[in-house]
Homo-oligomer: A and B are copies of this chain.
């Protein structure tokens, strides 16, 4: 897509401030300040970067408020983040639109309910009792197990596996090679061997959830494993059986959420965080990357470290740890001084 600066301003609902009369300049991409060239629009999401704007090659800039002393054409918007998303969508690489219909190599069981405008790609296997809502796109190589339901406007990328009795809401995205509804890690040790506890439950993925590539969401032993509406999950994340995740959470890559954990709304888990079994995190809890959580955390708390504790306290402790060899030396010196004093004292008696 090519747009003139004026057209772009109109499309993203921006006020155009164009002191140099460059409104007809063609823009082909949105790029960060340091990478933008003459045919790119850049953006100022953070005032910290205002200084670098001067040396940017960008043809125009999206700003949250008019910048004085900036000769470049400015597209003034209320919310730069939102305008940037619109601009990026305008300049997205053009791809062939997905065609509705069922590829001839897909195997769709009899009686499956397929909504209007659904696309089912090559090699897809859809089992009995499945429902797929309108306009959903099932990528090549996906498998959808018996009685699972996929809502409307979903997108399953290639080779996603959904086991039986899973329910995905609307506008759910699952990226390639992810697995939903696998049997969880639950065994009883009986007479010398680990016997699997049957997982009779399912998985519920609510509306507007995004799940990254190569993730695993296990089905529940009883009831459902739940991922709440609007929650976003990065790549290579493990969500154990019977976990209940609230709405609008963010879960970064390589996180492990053990069985039966309960997360409130808006919880943020940094990369490689691990939660022990049965942990409850209140709404708004933020866990710093790599932390290991072994106790419940109250709503709104920010925690870090293993075992995860209040974040500032964790940093205070880590700072102390960093100084520990020094402390040990001080302690040793103090011991010597004590010896000297005691010896002096003894000498007097």
Contacts and interface: CB of A to CB of B under 8 A. Distances in A.
Interface of A: 29-32, 35, 79, 81-82, 84-85, 88-89, 91-93, 95-96, 103, 105, 107, 121-123, 125, 127-128, 139-141, 143, 146-147, 157-159, 161, 163-165, 175-179, 182-183, 185, 187-188, 190, 192-198, 200, 208, 210, 212-216, 218, 221-223, 230, 232, 234-236, 238, 240, 248, 250, 252-254, 256, 258, 271-272, 274, 276, 289-290, 292, 306-307, 309, 316-325, 327-328, 330-331, 334-335, 337-338, 341-342, 344-345
A125 B139 CA distance: 10
Contacts of A79: 190
Contact of A179 (B29, B175, B192, B232): B175
Contacts of A322: 309, 317
Contact of A175 (B125, B165, B183, B213): B183
A146 B216 contact: no
Most central of A165, A213, A238 by chain B CB within 10 Å: A213
B328 A323 contact: yes
Q: How often does this chain occur in the complex, in copies?
A: 3
A197 B96 contact: no
A325 B141 CA distance: 55
A316 B306 contact: no
B321 A317 contact: yes
Given A159-B161, A331-B334, A334-B335, 10 more contacts: A29-B222, A92-B200, A158-B161, A159-B159, A185-B253, A252-B258, A271-B276, A317-B321, A321-B321, A330-B331
